Structure 1
Amino acid sequence: MAGNIYESRWSPPGPALLFCPADRPDRYEKAAQRADVVILDLEDAVAPDKREDAREALIAHQLDPDRTIVRINPASTGEARRDLAAIAETTYRVVLVAKAQTAEEVARTEMQAIALIESPAGAVNVNEIAAAPNVIGLMWGAEDLVAGLGGTSSRFGPQESEPGTYRDVARHVRASVRLAAAANGLFAVDAVHLDIADLDGLRAEVLDAVALGYQATACIHPSQVETIRAAYRPSDEQVAWARDVLAAAQEHSGVFSFDGLMVDGPVLSQAHAIMTRSGE
Protein backbone atom coordinates (compact mmCIF):
# COMPACT_ATOMS: atom_id res chain seq x y z
CA MET A 1 0.00 0.00 0.00
CA ALA A 2 2.63 2.54 1.03
CA GLY A 3 4.49 2.41 -2.28
CA ASN A 4 1.42 3.42 -4.26
CA ILE A 5 0.37 6.03 -1.73
CA TYR A 6 3.67 7.86 -1.79
CA GLU A 7 4.52 7.44 -5.47
CA SER A 8 3.54 11.11 -5.91
CA ARG A 9 3.00 12.67 -2.50
CA TRP A 10 0.54 15.56 -2.75
CA SER A 11 0.88 18.97 -1.11
CA PRO A 12 -1.26 22.10 -1.45
CA PRO A 13 -0.22 24.21 -4.47
CA GLY A 14 -1.43 27.34 -2.68
CA PRO A 15 -2.80 28.47 0.69
CA ALA A 16 -6.53 28.94 -0.02
CA LEU A 17 -8.61 25.73 0.15
CA LEU A 18 -12.28 26.28 -0.71
CA PHE A 19 -15.07 23.90 0.31
CA CYS A 20 -17.68 23.11 -2.35
CA PRO A 21 -20.73 20.87 -1.83
CA ALA A 22 -20.24 17.76 -3.96
CA ASP A 23 -23.92 17.72 -4.89
CA ARG A 24 -23.53 21.11 -6.61
CA PRO A 25 -21.55 20.34 -9.79
CA ASP A 26 -22.64 23.72 -11.17
CA ARG A 27 -20.23 25.27 -8.63
CA TYR A 28 -17.23 23.01 -9.26
CA GLU A 29 -15.55 25.03 -12.02
CA LYS A 30 -16.31 28.36 -10.33
CA ALA A 31 -14.67 27.13 -7.14
CA ALA A 32 -11.65 25.86 -9.08
CA GLN A 33 -11.25 29.23 -10.78
CA ARG A 34 -11.33 31.15 -7.50
CA ALA A 35 -9.28 28.99 -5.12
CA ASP A 36 -5.92 27.23 -5.05
CA VAL A 37 -7.56 23.93 -4.08
CA VAL A 38 -11.19 22.79 -4.10
CA ILE A 39 -12.45 20.50 -1.34
CA LEU A 40 -15.41 18.62 -2.81
CA ASP A 41 -17.47 17.86 0.28
CA LEU A 42 -19.40 14.59 0.60
CA GLU A 43 -20.00 15.07 4.32
CA ASP A 44 -21.47 18.05 6.19
CA ALA A 45 -22.33 20.12 3.10
CA VAL A 46 -24.54 17.36 1.67
CA ALA A 47 -27.84 16.19 3.14
CA PRO A 48 -27.85 12.42 3.77
CA ASP A 49 -30.52 11.82 1.12
CA LYS A 50 -28.43 13.69 -1.47
CA ARG A 51 -25.15 11.86 -0.96
CA GLU A 52 -25.69 9.35 -3.74
CA ASP A 53 -26.40 12.23 -6.13
CA ALA A 54 -23.22 13.88 -4.88
CA ARG A 55 -21.16 10.76 -5.60
CA GLU A 56 -22.58 10.56 -9.11
CA ALA A 57 -21.74 14.23 -9.68
CA LEU A 58 -18.22 13.63 -8.35
CA ILE A 59 -17.68 10.98 -11.03
CA ALA A 60 -19.36 12.85 -13.88
CA HIS A 61 -17.79 16.29 -13.38
CA GLN A 62 -14.12 15.82 -12.60
CA LEU A 63 -11.70 18.62 -11.77
CA ASP A 64 -7.89 18.72 -11.87
CA PRO A 65 -6.78 16.05 -9.36
CA ASP A 66 -3.68 18.09 -8.48
CA ARG A 67 -5.92 20.85 -7.16
CA THR A 68 -8.76 18.82 -5.67
CA ILE A 69 -9.43 17.08 -2.35
CA VAL A 70 -12.53 15.03 -1.57
CA ARG A 71 -13.88 15.17 1.97
CA ILE A 72 -15.31 11.79 2.84
CA ASN A 73 -17.54 10.80 5.72
CA PRO A 74 -15.99 9.39 8.92
CA ALA A 75 -13.81 6.46 7.87
CA SER A 76 -15.54 3.86 10.06
CA THR A 77 -18.94 4.37 8.40
CA GLY A 78 -20.70 2.76 5.47
CA GLU A 79 -21.03 6.22 3.95
CA ALA A 80 -17.24 6.46 3.80
CA ARG A 81 -17.00 3.10 2.06
CA ARG A 82 -19.49 4.31 -0.55
CA ASP A 83 -17.54 7.57 -0.89
CA LEU A 84 -14.31 5.67 -1.52
CA ALA A 85 -15.99 3.41 -4.10
CA ALA A 86 -17.08 6.51 -6.01
CA ILE A 87 -13.63 8.10 -5.76
CA ALA A 88 -12.13 4.91 -7.19
CA GLU A 89 -13.93 5.77 -10.44
CA THR A 90 -12.15 9.14 -10.64
CA THR A 91 -8.58 10.39 -10.89
CA TYR A 92 -8.69 11.95 -7.41
CA ARG A 93 -6.05 10.65 -5.04
CA VAL A 94 -6.36 12.80 -1.89
CA VAL A 95 -9.12 12.55 0.71
CA LEU A 96 -9.95 14.67 3.73
CA VAL A 97 -11.12 12.24 6.38
CA ALA A 98 -13.90 13.82 8.42
CA LYS A 99 -13.84 13.37 12.21
CA ALA A 100 -10.67 11.27 12.15
CA GLN A 101 -10.41 9.45 15.47
CA THR A 102 -7.71 6.78 15.14
CA ALA A 103 -4.71 6.06 12.96
CA GLU A 104 -6.13 2.67 12.02
CA GLU A 105 -9.37 4.01 10.55
CA VAL A 106 -7.56 6.67 8.52
CA ALA A 107 -5.09 4.08 7.19
CA ARG A 108 -8.00 1.93 6.01
CA THR A 109 -8.87 4.51 3.35
CA GLU A 110 -5.73 3.38 1.47
CA MET A 111 -5.44 6.84 -0.07
CA GLN A 112 -3.30 9.85 0.61
CA ALA A 113 -5.22 11.32 3.51
CA ILE A 114 -5.54 14.62 5.31
CA ALA A 115 -6.87 13.78 8.76
CA LEU A 116 -9.47 16.28 9.98
CA ILE A 117 -9.12 16.57 13.74
CA GLU A 118 -12.55 17.72 14.93
CA SER A 119 -13.60 15.37 17.71
CA PRO A 120 -12.38 14.86 21.28
CA ALA A 121 -11.04 11.41 20.37
CA GLY A 122 -9.20 12.78 17.36
CA ALA A 123 -7.68 15.58 19.43
CA VAL A 124 -6.44 13.10 22.07
CA ASN A 125 -5.04 10.76 19.39
CA VAL A 126 -3.61 13.39 17.04
CA ASN A 127 0.02 12.28 17.40
CA GLU A 128 -0.80 8.66 16.56
CA ILE A 129 -3.02 9.76 13.65
CA ALA A 130 -0.24 11.95 12.28
CA ALA A 131 2.07 8.93 12.23
CA ALA A 132 -0.29 6.79 10.10
CA PRO A 133 1.50 5.67 6.91
CA ASN A 134 -0.90 7.33 4.46
CA VAL A 135 -1.42 10.63 6.30
CA ILE A 136 0.13 13.51 4.36
CA GLY A 137 -1.44 16.41 6.28
CA LEU A 138 -3.60 17.47 9.20
CA MET A 139 -6.47 19.92 9.46
CA TRP A 140 -8.58 20.82 12.45
CA GLY A 141 -12.18 21.95 12.92
CA ALA A 142 -13.58 23.95 15.81
CA GLU A 143 -17.34 23.56 15.66
CA ASP A 144 -17.61 19.77 15.58
CA LEU A 145 -14.95 19.66 18.28
CA VAL A 146 -16.99 21.84 20.63
CA ALA A 147 -20.20 19.97 19.78
CA GLY A 148 -18.42 16.75 20.74
CA LEU A 149 -17.59 18.30 24.09
CA GLY A 150 -21.22 19.15 24.70
CA GLY A 151 -20.37 22.83 24.36
CA THR A 152 -22.10 25.64 22.52
CA SER A 153 -19.42 27.90 21.03
CA SER A 154 -15.79 27.67 19.99
CA ARG A 155 -15.30 31.45 20.28
CA PHE A 156 -15.80 34.13 22.88
CA GLY A 157 -19.01 36.13 22.45
CA PRO A 158 -19.37 39.94 22.14
CA GLN A 159 -19.76 40.42 25.89
CA GLU A 160 -16.87 38.14 26.85
CA SER A 161 -13.12 38.64 26.95
CA GLU A 162 -11.39 38.60 23.55
CA PRO A 163 -14.66 38.63 21.53
CA GLY A 164 -14.49 36.61 18.32
CA THR A 165 -11.33 34.72 19.27
CA TYR A 166 -11.10 31.02 20.03
CA ARG A 167 -11.69 29.65 23.52
CA ASP A 168 -8.80 27.87 25.19
CA VAL A 169 -9.81 24.32 24.25
CA ALA A 170 -9.95 25.25 20.56
CA ARG A 171 -6.59 27.00 20.81
CA HIS A 172 -5.15 23.90 22.43
CA VAL A 173 -6.31 21.64 19.59
CA ARG A 174 -5.12 24.13 16.97
CA ALA A 175 -1.67 24.12 18.56
CA SER A 176 -1.67 20.33 18.99
CA VAL A 177 -2.47 19.81 15.32
CA ARG A 178 0.34 22.13 14.26
CA LEU A 179 2.82 20.42 16.58
CA ALA A 180 1.83 16.91 15.47
CA ALA A 181 2.10 17.90 11.82
CA ALA A 182 5.56 19.41 12.29
CA ALA A 183 6.80 16.46 14.32
CA ASN A 184 5.78 14.08 11.54
CA GLY A 185 6.83 16.18 8.54
CA LEU A 186 3.26 16.90 7.41
CA PHE A 187 1.59 20.06 6.16
CA ALA A 188 -1.10 21.63 8.34
CA VAL A 189 -4.34 23.34 7.29
CA ASP A 190 -6.03 25.86 9.57
CA ALA A 191 -9.78 25.80 10.24
CA VAL A 192 -12.45 27.79 8.43
CA HIS A 193 -13.58 31.24 9.60
CA LEU A 194 -17.38 30.95 9.65
CA ASP A 195 -18.15 34.69 9.76
CA ILE A 196 -17.95 35.33 6.01
CA ALA A 197 -18.27 39.11 6.30
CA ASP A 198 -15.53 39.38 8.94
CA LEU A 199 -12.54 39.73 6.62
CA ASP A 200 -10.54 41.64 9.23
CA GLY A 201 -10.96 38.79 11.70
CA LEU A 202 -10.07 36.29 8.99
CA ARG A 203 -6.91 38.20 8.10
CA ALA A 204 -5.81 38.35 11.74
CA GLU A 205 -6.41 34.63 12.11
CA VAL A 206 -4.50 33.78 8.94
CA LEU A 207 -1.56 35.97 9.92
CA ASP A 208 -1.42 34.05 13.19
CA ALA A 209 -1.56 30.76 11.27
CA VAL A 210 1.35 31.91 9.11
CA ALA A 211 3.35 32.83 12.21
CA LEU A 212 2.77 29.29 13.53
CA GLY A 213 3.85 27.66 10.27
CA TYR A 214 0.48 26.58 8.93
CA GLN A 215 0.75 26.04 5.18
CA ALA A 216 -2.89 26.67 4.20
CA THR A 217 -6.28 27.79 5.47
CA ALA A 218 -9.65 26.36 4.49
CA CYS A 219 -12.58 28.62 3.66
CA ILE A 220 -16.28 28.37 2.92
CA HIS A 221 -16.85 31.28 0.53
CA PRO A 222 -14.97 32.58 -2.53
CA SER A 223 -14.88 36.09 -1.04
CA GLN A 224 -12.45 34.79 1.61
CA VAL A 225 -9.87 33.48 -0.86
CA GLU A 226 -7.95 36.67 -1.61
CA THR A 227 -7.75 37.61 2.07
CA ILE A 228 -6.15 34.23 2.76
CA ARG A 229 -3.74 34.51 -0.15
CA ALA A 230 -2.71 38.04 0.80
CA ALA A 231 -2.06 37.07 4.42
CA TYR A 232 0.14 34.12 3.42
CA ARG A 233 2.04 36.23 0.89
CA PRO A 234 5.11 37.80 2.56
CA SER A 235 5.63 41.53 2.15
CA ASP A 236 8.36 42.93 -0.09
CA GLU A 237 10.21 43.97 3.06
CA GLN A 238 10.07 40.46 4.50
CA VAL A 239 11.32 38.93 1.25
CA ALA A 240 14.17 41.45 1.01
CA TRP A 241 15.18 40.72 4.62
CA ALA A 242 15.09 36.96 4.09
CA ARG A 243 17.07 37.19 0.86
CA ASP A 244 19.73 39.37 2.49
CA VAL A 245 20.00 37.16 5.59
CA LEU A 246 20.42 34.02 3.49
CA ALA A 247 23.01 35.76 1.32
CA ALA A 248 24.92 36.87 4.44
CA ALA A 249 24.84 33.31 5.76
CA GLN A 250 26.92 32.22 2.78
CA GLU A 251 29.77 34.34 4.13
CA HIS A 252 29.64 33.06 7.71
CA SER A 253 29.90 29.76 9.52
CA GLY A 254 27.90 29.41 12.70
CA VAL A 255 26.16 32.26 14.47
CA PHE A 256 26.59 35.79 13.11
CA SER A 257 25.10 39.26 13.50
CA PHE A 258 22.97 40.88 10.81
CA ASP A 259 21.54 44.39 11.27
CA GLY A 260 21.85 43.96 15.02
CA LEU A 261 20.05 40.59 15.01
CA MET A 262 21.74 37.40 16.11
CA VAL A 263 21.32 34.93 13.27
CA ASP A 264 21.44 31.20 13.97
CA GLY A 265 19.75 28.08 12.64
CA PRO A 266 16.18 28.95 13.68
CA VAL A 267 16.42 32.44 12.15
CA LEU A 268 17.70 30.95 8.88
CA SER A 269 14.81 28.49 8.91
CA GLN A 270 12.41 31.42 9.25
CA ALA A 271 14.09 33.14 6.31
CA HIS A 272 13.77 29.99 4.20
CA ALA A 273 10.06 29.78 5.13
CA ILE A 274 9.50 33.35 3.94
CA MET A 275 11.22 32.62 0.63
CA THR A 276 9.14 29.48 0.18
CA ARG A 277 5.91 31.42 0.71
CA SER A 278 7.10 34.09 -1.73
CA GLY A 279 7.49 31.48 -4.46
CA GLU A 280 11.16 32.28 -5.02
Structure 2
Amino acid sequence: MRVLEDALAWLYVPAPRAGELLAKAASVADGIVVDLEDAVHPRQRPAAREHLAEVLPAYDGAAFVVVRVNPVSTADFAADVAALTPLVRAGHVAAIRIAKVESAAEVAIARAATAAWGPEPRLVCQLESAGAVARAHEIAAADGVHSIMLGEADLRADLRLPRGAAGDPGLLLARQTCVLASRAAGLPSPVGSAFTDVADIDGLRETSHRLAALGFVGRSCIHPRQAAVVREGFAPTPADVAWARSVLAESGAQDGADSAASVLSDGSFVDPAIVRQAERIAARAGAGE
Protein backbone atom coordinates (compact mmCIF):
# COMPACT_ATOMS: atom_id res chain seq x y z
CA MET A 1 0.00 0.00 0.00
CA ARG A 2 1.34 3.43 -0.93
CA VAL A 3 1.88 5.86 1.94
CA LEU A 4 2.57 9.58 2.07
CA GLU A 5 6.30 8.93 2.43
CA ASP A 6 6.36 7.44 -1.07
CA ALA A 7 5.64 10.86 -2.59
CA LEU A 8 8.67 12.87 -3.70
CA ALA A 9 7.25 15.83 -5.65
CA TRP A 10 4.53 17.80 -3.82
CA LEU A 11 2.83 20.46 -5.93
CA TYR A 12 1.03 23.43 -4.36
CA VAL A 13 -2.41 24.28 -5.77
CA PRO A 14 -4.37 27.37 -4.61
CA ALA A 15 -7.63 26.23 -3.03
CA PRO A 16 -9.85 28.55 -5.11
CA ARG A 17 -8.48 26.96 -8.31
CA ALA A 18 -8.50 23.35 -7.13
CA GLY A 19 -11.34 22.40 -9.45
CA GLU A 20 -9.39 23.32 -12.57
CA LEU A 21 -5.91 22.32 -11.40
CA LEU A 22 -6.23 19.04 -9.46
CA ALA A 23 -6.16 16.75 -12.47
CA LYS A 24 -3.29 18.69 -14.06
CA ALA A 25 -1.32 18.57 -10.81
CA ALA A 26 -1.93 14.84 -10.40
CA SER A 27 -0.53 14.20 -13.87
CA VAL A 28 2.93 15.49 -12.87
CA ALA A 29 3.18 15.29 -9.06
CA ASP A 30 3.16 12.50 -6.48
CA GLY A 31 1.30 14.63 -3.97
CA ILE A 32 -0.87 17.74 -4.12
CA VAL A 33 -0.91 20.43 -1.43
CA VAL A 34 -4.14 22.38 -1.68
CA ASP A 35 -3.34 25.72 -0.07
CA LEU A 36 -5.87 27.47 2.18
CA GLU A 37 -3.23 29.73 3.72
CA ASP A 38 -0.86 32.03 1.81
CA ALA A 39 -2.50 31.42 -1.58
CA VAL A 40 -5.93 32.61 -0.42
CA HIS A 41 -6.94 36.14 0.62
CA PRO A 42 -8.62 36.00 4.05
CA ARG A 43 -11.89 37.28 2.59
CA GLN A 44 -11.88 34.45 0.04
CA ARG A 45 -11.31 31.60 2.49
CA PRO A 46 -14.98 30.81 3.25
CA ALA A 47 -15.70 30.45 -0.46
CA ALA A 48 -12.51 28.42 -0.94
CA ARG A 49 -13.61 25.95 1.74
CA GLU A 50 -16.98 25.53 0.07
CA HIS A 51 -15.19 24.99 -3.23
CA LEU A 52 -13.09 22.18 -1.77
CA ALA A 53 -16.20 20.49 -0.39
CA GLU A 54 -17.50 20.39 -3.96
CA VAL A 55 -14.40 19.40 -5.94
CA LEU A 56 -12.38 17.07 -3.69
CA PRO A 57 -15.02 14.29 -3.58
CA ALA A 58 -14.85 14.20 -7.38
CA TYR A 59 -11.05 13.89 -7.49
CA ASP A 60 -9.91 10.39 -8.44
CA GLY A 61 -6.24 10.89 -9.31
CA ALA A 62 -3.32 8.83 -8.05
CA ALA A 63 -1.55 11.71 -6.27
CA PHE A 64 -2.04 12.11 -2.53
CA VAL A 65 -4.02 15.18 -1.43
CA VAL A 66 -3.14 17.16 1.67
CA VAL A 67 -4.42 20.61 2.56
CA ARG A 68 -2.31 23.39 4.03
CA VAL A 69 -4.40 25.07 6.71
CA ASN A 70 -3.98 28.30 8.62
CA PRO A 71 -2.05 28.59 11.91
CA VAL A 72 -3.61 27.13 15.05
CA SER A 73 -3.62 30.58 16.64
CA THR A 74 -6.05 31.95 14.02
CA ALA A 75 -9.82 31.75 13.75
CA ASP A 76 -9.34 30.38 10.24
CA PHE A 77 -7.83 27.19 11.65
CA ALA A 78 -11.06 26.10 13.33
CA ALA A 79 -13.02 26.92 10.17
CA ASP A 80 -10.53 24.97 8.06
CA VAL A 81 -10.80 21.90 10.29
CA ALA A 82 -14.60 22.03 10.32
CA ALA A 83 -14.69 22.18 6.51
CA LEU A 84 -12.13 19.41 6.06
CA THR A 85 -13.49 16.94 8.64
CA PRO A 86 -16.02 15.27 6.31
CA LEU A 87 -13.42 15.22 3.52
CA VAL A 88 -10.81 13.53 5.73
CA ARG A 89 -13.29 11.01 7.10
CA ALA A 90 -14.41 10.15 3.57
CA GLY A 91 -10.80 9.60 2.46
CA HIS A 92 -10.56 12.59 0.13
CA VAL A 93 -7.83 14.30 2.18
CA ALA A 94 -4.92 12.31 3.60
CA ALA A 95 -3.44 14.88 5.99
CA ILE A 96 -3.09 18.59 6.69
CA ARG A 97 -0.04 20.80 6.69
CA ILE A 98 -0.40 23.24 9.55
CA ALA A 99 1.29 26.55 8.84
CA LYS A 100 3.54 28.25 11.39
CA VAL A 101 3.44 25.68 14.20
CA GLU A 102 5.28 27.17 17.18
CA SER A 103 5.03 24.61 19.97
CA ALA A 104 3.86 21.21 21.15
CA ALA A 105 1.02 23.03 22.91
CA GLU A 106 -0.28 24.15 19.52
CA VAL A 107 -0.04 20.58 18.27
CA ALA A 108 -2.15 19.47 21.25
CA ILE A 109 -4.81 22.01 20.27
CA ALA A 110 -4.73 20.76 16.68
CA ARG A 111 -4.92 17.14 17.83
CA ALA A 112 -7.98 17.90 19.97
CA ALA A 113 -9.62 19.79 17.12
CA THR A 114 -9.13 16.85 14.76
CA ALA A 115 -10.04 14.09 17.23
CA ALA A 116 -12.97 13.05 15.03
CA TRP A 117 -10.48 12.12 12.29
CA GLY A 118 -9.45 8.98 14.20
CA PRO A 119 -6.14 7.77 15.67
CA GLU A 120 -4.02 7.91 12.51
CA PRO A 121 -1.44 10.74 12.64
CA ARG A 122 -2.47 13.34 10.06
CA LEU A 123 -0.72 16.52 11.22
CA VAL A 124 2.22 17.77 9.16
CA CYS A 125 3.74 20.62 11.14
CA GLN A 126 5.52 23.44 9.30
CA LEU A 127 8.23 25.12 11.40
CA GLU A 128 8.69 28.65 10.15
CA SER A 129 10.49 30.57 12.91
CA ALA A 130 13.66 30.31 14.97
CA GLY A 131 11.57 29.48 18.04
CA ALA A 132 9.77 26.68 16.26
CA VAL A 133 13.05 25.13 15.10
CA ALA A 134 14.41 25.39 18.65
CA ARG A 135 11.38 23.36 19.79
CA ALA A 136 11.51 20.92 16.86
CA HIS A 137 12.11 17.84 19.03
CA GLU A 138 9.12 18.64 21.27
CA ILE A 139 6.86 19.29 18.27
CA ALA A 140 7.97 16.12 16.49
CA ALA A 141 7.27 14.02 19.59
CA ALA A 142 3.75 15.40 20.10
CA ASP A 143 0.76 13.11 19.69
CA GLY A 144 -0.89 13.17 16.28
CA VAL A 145 2.13 14.43 14.32
CA HIS A 146 2.70 12.61 11.05
CA SER A 147 5.81 14.61 10.15
CA ILE A 148 7.49 17.98 10.46
CA MET A 149 9.02 20.22 7.81
CA LEU A 150 10.45 23.69 7.43
CA GLY A 151 8.73 26.71 5.95
CA GLU A 152 11.91 28.31 4.70
CA ALA A 153 10.53 31.55 3.28
CA ASP A 154 9.30 32.73 6.67
CA LEU A 155 12.28 31.16 8.43
CA ARG A 156 14.73 33.09 6.23
CA ALA A 157 12.97 36.30 7.14
CA ASP A 158 12.98 35.49 10.86
CA LEU A 159 16.69 34.63 10.77
CA ARG A 160 17.39 37.76 8.66
CA LEU A 161 19.18 35.76 6.00
CA PRO A 162 20.00 37.00 2.51
CA ARG A 163 17.62 35.87 -0.19
CA GLY A 164 18.50 33.10 -2.60
CA ALA A 165 21.61 30.95 -2.48
CA ALA A 166 23.47 33.46 -0.33
CA GLY A 167 21.17 32.64 2.58
CA ASP A 168 21.42 28.85 2.31
CA PRO A 169 24.37 28.44 4.73
CA GLY A 170 22.27 30.08 7.43
CA LEU A 171 19.61 27.39 7.02
CA LEU A 172 21.97 24.45 7.50
CA LEU A 173 21.46 24.05 11.25
CA ALA A 174 17.68 24.35 10.92
CA ARG A 175 17.65 21.73 8.17
CA GLN A 176 19.78 19.32 10.17
CA THR A 177 17.64 19.92 13.26
CA CYS A 178 14.49 19.13 11.29
CA VAL A 179 15.95 15.84 10.04
CA LEU A 180 17.31 14.83 13.45
CA ALA A 181 14.08 15.70 15.28
CA SER A 182 12.04 13.76 12.74
CA ARG A 183 14.08 10.59 12.98
CA ALA A 184 14.57 10.82 16.75
CA ALA A 185 10.78 10.86 17.12
CA GLY A 186 10.39 7.94 14.70
CA LEU A 187 8.72 10.12 12.07
CA PRO A 188 9.26 9.97 8.30
CA SER A 189 12.14 12.00 6.92
CA PRO A 190 11.01 15.58 6.27
CA VAL A 191 9.91 17.01 2.94
CA GLY A 192 12.06 19.89 1.71
CA SER A 193 10.75 23.41 1.18
CA ALA A 194 9.95 24.81 -2.24
CA PHE A 195 12.56 26.39 -4.51
CA THR A 196 11.01 29.73 -5.41
CA ASP A 197 12.94 30.63 -8.57
CA VAL A 198 10.82 28.76 -11.11
CA ALA A 199 13.13 29.69 -13.99
CA ASP A 200 16.28 28.30 -12.32
CA ILE A 201 16.02 24.58 -13.05
CA ASP A 202 19.74 24.01 -12.45
CA GLY A 203 19.44 25.62 -9.02
CA LEU A 204 16.44 23.46 -8.22
CA ARG A 205 18.35 20.34 -9.20
CA GLU A 206 21.47 21.29 -7.23
CA THR A 207 19.62 22.23 -4.06
CA SER A 208 17.44 19.12 -4.24
CA HIS A 209 20.57 16.95 -4.29
CA ARG A 210 21.89 18.91 -1.28
CA LEU A 211 18.66 18.39 0.66
CA ALA A 212 18.70 14.69 -0.16
CA ALA A 213 22.26 14.48 1.15
CA LEU A 214 21.07 16.01 4.44
CA GLY A 215 18.32 13.39 4.85
CA PHE A 216 15.26 15.06 3.35
CA VAL A 217 12.99 12.93 1.20
CA GLY A 218 11.00 14.82 -1.42
CA ARG A 219 10.27 18.49 -1.87
CA SER A 220 7.45 20.95 -2.34
CA CYS A 221 6.99 22.49 -5.80
CA ILE A 222 5.31 25.71 -6.84
CA HIS A 223 5.21 25.00 -10.59
CA PRO A 224 4.48 21.81 -12.53
CA ARG A 225 7.81 21.99 -14.39
CA GLN A 226 9.64 21.50 -11.09
CA ALA A 227 8.11 18.11 -10.30
CA ALA A 228 10.23 15.92 -12.58
CA VAL A 229 13.45 17.62 -11.45
CA VAL A 230 12.54 17.16 -7.79
CA ARG A 231 11.65 13.51 -8.33
CA GLU A 232 15.01 12.89 -9.98
CA GLY A 233 16.82 14.76 -7.23
CA PHE A 234 15.47 12.52 -4.46
CA ALA A 235 15.16 9.18 -6.25
CA PRO A 236 17.96 6.60 -5.86
CA THR A 237 20.44 6.68 -8.71
CA PRO A 238 20.86 3.57 -10.90
CA ALA A 239 24.23 3.04 -9.21
CA ASP A 240 22.60 3.20 -5.77
CA VAL A 241 19.93 0.70 -6.80
CA ALA A 242 22.50 -1.69 -8.28
CA TRP A 243 24.56 -1.46 -5.08
CA ALA A 244 21.49 -2.07 -2.90
CA ARG A 245 20.50 -5.13 -4.87
CA SER A 246 24.00 -6.56 -4.70
CA VAL A 247 24.03 -6.04 -0.93
CA LEU A 248 20.67 -7.72 -0.52
CA ALA A 249 21.74 -10.60 -2.72
CA GLU A 250 24.89 -11.08 -0.66
CA SER A 251 22.87 -10.81 2.55
CA GLY A 252 20.53 -13.53 1.32
CA ALA A 253 23.44 -15.73 0.39
CA GLN A 254 24.87 -15.33 3.90
CA ASP A 255 21.67 -16.37 5.70
CA GLY A 256 22.55 -19.10 8.12
CA ALA A 257 26.26 -18.25 8.14
CA ASP A 258 28.15 -17.86 11.41
CA SER A 259 28.90 -14.15 10.81
CA ALA A 260 26.43 -11.30 10.27
CA ALA A 261 29.01 -9.49 8.12
CA SER A 262 30.49 -10.20 4.71
CA VAL A 263 32.33 -8.48 1.85
CA LEU A 264 31.09 -7.81 -1.68
CA SER A 265 33.20 -8.68 -4.69
CA ASP A 266 34.25 -5.01 -5.00
CA GLY A 267 35.57 -5.01 -1.44
CA SER A 268 32.57 -3.23 0.13
CA PHE A 269 31.85 -4.32 3.69
CA VAL A 270 28.32 -5.59 4.41
CA ASP A 271 26.84 -5.76 7.91
CA PRO A 272 23.27 -5.39 9.28
CA ALA A 273 23.39 -1.58 9.19
CA ILE A 274 24.46 -1.64 5.54
CA VAL A 275 21.70 -4.13 4.78
CA ARG A 276 19.12 -1.79 6.33
CA GLN A 277 20.38 1.05 4.15
CA ALA A 278 20.17 -1.19 1.08
CA GLU A 279 16.62 -2.19 2.00
CA ARG A 280 15.60 1.48 2.20
CA ILE A 281 17.10 2.22 -1.21
CA ALA A 282 15.46 -0.82 -2.78
CA ALA A 283 12.11 0.11 -1.24
CA ARG A 284 12.40 3.67 -2.53
CA ALA A 285 13.28 2.38 -6.00
CA GLY A 286 10.28 0.05 -5.89
CA ALA A 287 7.95 2.89 -4.85
CA GLY A 288 9.22 4.98 -7.76
CA GLU A 289 8.67 2.17 -10.22
Q: TM-score range by the shorter chain?
A: 0.7 to 0.9
- Which residue identity lines up with residue 67 of structure 1 in the other structure? F
Residue 74 of structure 2 aligns with which residue?
77
Residue 151 of structure 2 aligns with which residue?
141
Residue 256 of structure 1 aligns with which residue?
262
Residue 99 of structure 1 aligns with which residue?
100
Residue 132 of structure 2 aligns with which residue?
122
The answer as to whether partners of 1:10 and 1:94 remain within 8 angstroms in 2 is no
- Which residue identity lines up with residue 174 of structure 2 in the other structure? V
Q: Distance between the aligned counterparts of 1:167 and 1:208, measured in 2?
A: 12
Residue 184 of structure 2 aligns with which residue?
183
- Which residue identity lines up with residue 284 of structure 2 in the other structure? R
How far did residue 10 of structure 1 move?
A: 5.3
3-state DSSP class of the match of 1:90? helix
Q: Distance between the aligned counterparts of 2:271 and 2:163, measured in 1?
A: 38
The answer as to whether partners of 2:35 and 2:67 remain within 8 angstroms in 1 is yes
3-state DSSP class of the match of 1:109? helix
**Structure 2 portions without partners, runs of 5+:** 115-121
TM-score using structure 2 length: 0.84
Does 2:77 correspond to 1:68? no
Percent identical among aligned pairs is 36
Residue 131 of structure 1 aligns with which residue?
141
Q: How does 1:161-240 map to 2 (within 5 A)?
A: 166-168=168-170, 170-187=171-188, 188-240=190-242
Pick the structure with more helix per residue: 2
- Give the number of aligned pairs: 264
3-state DSSP class of the match of 1:189? coil
Indicate which of 35, 44, 48 corresponds to 1:41: 35
- Which residue identity lines up with residue 186 of structure 2 in the other structure? G
What is the alpha-carbon root mean square deviation over aligned residues?
2.2
Q: Distance between the aligned counterparts of 1:47 and 1:153, measured in 2?
A: 27
- Which residue identity lines up with residue 70 of structure 1 in the other structure? V
Give runs of ≥4 in structure 1 deviating > 6 Å.
Answer: none
How far did residue 216 of structure 1 move?
A: 1.7
3-state DSSP class of the match of 1:69? strand
Compared with structure 1, are the counterparts of its residues 74 and 64 closer, same or farther at alpha carbon in structure 2 (3 Å cutoff)?
Answer: farther
Q: Distance between the aligned counterparts of 1:242 and 1:152, measured in 2?
A: 39
How far did residue 9 of structure 1 move?
A: 11
CA deviations over 1:112-132 (Å, ceiling 9, x no partner): 101111112211110000001
Q: Distance between the aligned counterparts of 2:110 and 2:261, measured in 1?
A: 46
The answer as to whether partners of 1:154 and 1:167 remain within 8 angstroms in 2 is no
Residue 3 of structure 1 aligns with which residue?
none
Residue 118 of structure 2 aligns with which residue?
none
TM-score using structure 1 length: 0.87
Residue 245 of structure 2 aligns with which residue?
243
Residue 282 of structure 2 aligns with which residue?
275
**Structure 1 portions without partners, runs of 5+:** 1-7, 158-164
Q: Which moved more, 1:174-183 or 1:195-204?
A: 195-204
Q: Distance between the aligned counterparts of 1:78 and 1:35, measured in 2?
A: 31
The answer as to whether partners of 1:18 and 1:221 remain within 8 angstroms in 2 is yes
